[in-house]
Amino acid sequence: MLEPFEFGFMQRAMIAATLVGGVTAAVGVFVILRRLAYIGHGLAHSIFGGAVVSFTIGFNFFLGASLWGAFSVFLINQAARRRQIGGDAAIGIITTAAFAIGIAVISRARSFTRDFEAALFGEILGITNQDLYVTAGMVLLIAIVMFLLWKPLVFITFDQDVATSYGISVRWVEAIFSLALAATVVAALQVLGVTLIAAALVIPPVVARLLTDSFPRLFVIAVVIGALTGFLGVYVSWFVDVSSGATVVLVQSAVFALTLGWGVLESRRGFSAARRAERLAGLERSLND
């Protein structure tokens, strides 16, 4: 049971998955409540294009992907302001175009194919100490931004009009949050890969939403679930010999299924108890009559 902890690459992988799982869940809470799941999925594909181009020209992977993500956010915001173009259409056009650029570059430079399979599906077991430091630094930066944005972001999430009336710049807060979301995607890229990031953003907050109606508790539960499932996913992948990124998402999906199933059973029990109480009350009334 302790065998995975004996290897340095597994230790680094579990630390990275725990950090990334926690931060994606934290950002994901606002993604879910603001119904932005599509932009998280789209940014993952967009940043893939930036990562490919950065790698090809010998530019720093994390810096290049982050800059590309920021540029994508800027383009999406600019396009979405036009009435003729909806926000969802802007996301779809810009992110798929960026993803297509990445595919085109890969097809021209076939020697890079294996490296970008890792970008698509994640290669957490290949994380070096330097990668771990960069990931931890990005997670810390995102956490600081979320802390500083906490009050205005919560305000905007629940009542944008009132937030505006209180002098909160909705446009600036949304722009900074979008950049934090892009940075989260970059941090998760090597851990989960492009294809699985959206699931990690969505599943822990949805599970937390099923467990509580309190926003503070929802946030804490989501972060705990994200961090624990990240750790457990990598740990379990050692024994089942399956991709670590996929195992993380499968563990999260299992937690979601169990939580949903438990909720259904509880609601049925509650419904049955209510019906029994109603019948007993009716019987008591008939006896009294």
Which of 72, 80, 77 lies closest to 47, judged by CA?
72
Task: Break the chain into its structural domains and give their ranges.
Answer: 3-288
Give the angle subtended at the CA of 45 by the CAs of 145 and 140, to the nearest 5°: 20
How many helices and strands, by DSSP H and E, does the chain display?
11, 0
pLDDT for 161 equals 82
pLDDT per position as a tens digit, 89-146: 777 788 788 888 877 877 776 655 545 666 666 677 778 888 889 889 989 999 999 9
Alpha-carbon span 21 to 198, nearest angstrom:
12
**Which residues fall within 8 angstroms of residue 37, CB to CB, at 6 or more apart?**
31, 198, 201, 202
pTM of the predicted protein model? 0.81
Q: Above 50 in pLDDT, residue 55?
A: yes
**% the chain with pLDDT above 90:** 21
pLDDT per position as a tens digit, 188-233: 887 787 778 888 889 999 999 998 888 889 999 999 999 999 999 9
Q: What is the mean pLDDT of residues 16-24?
A: 92
Q: What is the mean pLDDT of residues 176-191?
A: 84
3-288: what fold?
Answer: ABC transporter involved in vitamin B12 uptake, BtuC (1.10.3470)
